[in-house]
Amino acid sequence: MKAGVFMAFSVGDTVGRKSYNMDILFRIVEIDHKKKIAVLKGLDMRLLADAHLDDLHYPDPLQIKKYRQRSEEAQKDCIRKIYRRRGLERERLRGISGKGSEDFFEMPGKILHLDGDRDYLAECMKVYQSLQLKAVGKYVPERNQPELVWNLLHQHHPNILIMTGHDAYLKNPEQNFQDLRHYRNSRYFVEGVRKARQYEPNKDDLVIFAGACQSHYEQLLAAGANFASSPQRVLIHALDPVFVVEKVAFTSINESVNIFEVIKHTITGLEGVGGVETRGQFRLGLPKSPY
């Protein structure tokens, strides 16, 4: 690339990285023209990355269209599986009780979602609505989540807490995956989980999902998260936290959440998300009021 060509890039542009064969598409969120560095945000992956301007390339419109279609289809497939699973569970309840599902009312767990990205949060809130989940969403930059989580928990009293946003494993000569200093935002998620556990130590009374792309999975679980990313330090989809907690919210308080079923219904899968045995947060009521 000739000197100066990269100056054509602007904040908001959709780009890919040539060194990664344009495998992920990003939006430029910041440019340092002096250092010739851009800060990139994944279109659908919870990744914040730095890249040299001369490594960036504009994808053609057809490539962008196909990329978005693949992401949307993966999302729709997860939602279809969720509703299929719920239908089977309602049939099981009818068989156990001998009553029709219309006689019951449902109380899925309430969700508080803290997100370091406004766009991802907006998409998550749309999916919560489509999945009939009661969720409160708050845009909170990752570094501020430990400071604000305590008051937000007291204000909203959720059954389920999500702390997410962007993250990344920062390349270093030591290749030390255990050092929190080598992660962009994992230390904030870890500290946020610790603060949330001071509010509610019991993992079954407050279920926590924490992390984003390539986050320090082991430290997040050690801090008290029920579910976290990323076991293999891979990228996770922006909606993966939603699909994890949906299963928790709709699993009976009398049952342990099937971890394999939780991960199976995410977009990323076992490489990106994991967790520990957790009791569900769903309560069934009877009878349903006619009013």
List the CATH number of the domain containing 174. 3.40.50.2300
- Tell whether 67 is covered by a domain: no
Q: Which residue has the higher pLDDT, 182 or 86?
A: 182
Assess whether 52 and 128 both reside in one domain: no
* Percentage above 70 pLDDT, the chain: 94
- Tell whether 83 is covered by a domain: no
- Tell whether 79 is covered by a domain: no
Strands 56-57 and 207-210: unpaired
Confidence of residue 227 (pLDDT cuts 50, 70, 90): very high
Assess whether 55 and 102 both reside in one domain: no
Nearest to 224 by CA among 194, 182, 257: 194
pTM for the whole thing?
A: 0.89
pLDDT of residue 95: 64
Assess whether 116 and 15 both reside in one domain: no
- The burial of 241, by beta-carbon neighbours within 10 Å (0-12 exposed, 13-18 middle, 19 or more buried), is given as buried
Identify the top-confidence range among 17-21, 47-51, 205-209.
205-209
Assess whether 239 and 116 both reside in one domain: yes
Q: Are 240 and 268 in contact (CB under 8 A)?
A: yes
The amino acid present at 4, given as its one-letter code, is G
Nearest to 265 by CA among 283, 284, 239: 239
- Tell whether 40 is covered by a domain: yes
Assess whether 275 and 217 both reside in one domain: yes
- Tell whether 240 is covered by a domain: yes
Res 288 pLDDT > 90: no
- Tell whether 73 is covered by a domain: no
Res 2 pLDDT > 60: no
* Percentage above 90 pLDDT, the chain: 71
pLDDT of residue 102: 65
pLDDT of residue 6: 46
Give the mean pLDDT of 182-210.
97
Confidence of residue 195 (pLDDT cuts 50, 70, 90): very high
Report the alpha-carbon distance of residue 10 to residue 229 in Å, rounded: 31
What kind and span of H or E run contains 162?
A: strand 160-164
Res 146 pLDDT > 50: yes
Assess whether 51 and 141 both reside in one domain: no
Q: Which residue has the higher pLDDT, 129 or 174?
A: 129
The pLDDT tens digits of the residues spanning 261-271 come to 888 878 998 89
Assess whether 148 and 265 both reside in one domain: yes
Assess whether 41 and 108 both reside in one domain: no
Structural domain for 45, as ranges: 5-59
Assess whether 41 and 110 both reside in one domain: no
Assess whether 129 and 24 both reside in one domain: no
Assess whether 156 and 262 both reside in one domain: yes
- Tell whether 90 is covered by a domain: no
55: left (phi over 0), alpha (psi -120 to 50) or beta: alpha
C-alpha dihedral sign at 119, 120, 125, 129: positive
For every residue of 265-277, DSSP letters joined together read TSSS-TTT-EE--
Domain of 31: which CATH number? 2.30.30.30
User: How far lies 269's CA from each of 86, 100, 200, 263, in Å?
Assistant: 20, 35, 28, 5
pLDDT of residue 3: 44
Res 53 pLDDT > 90: yes
Six-digit token string for 42: 């994944």
Assess whether 50 and 110 both reside in one domain: no
Confidence of residue 93 (pLDDT cuts 50, 70, 90): low
125: left (phi over 0), alpha (psi -120 to 50) or beta: alpha
Number of domains within the chain: 2
- Tell whether 228 is covered by a domain: yes
Res 79 pLDDT > 60: yes
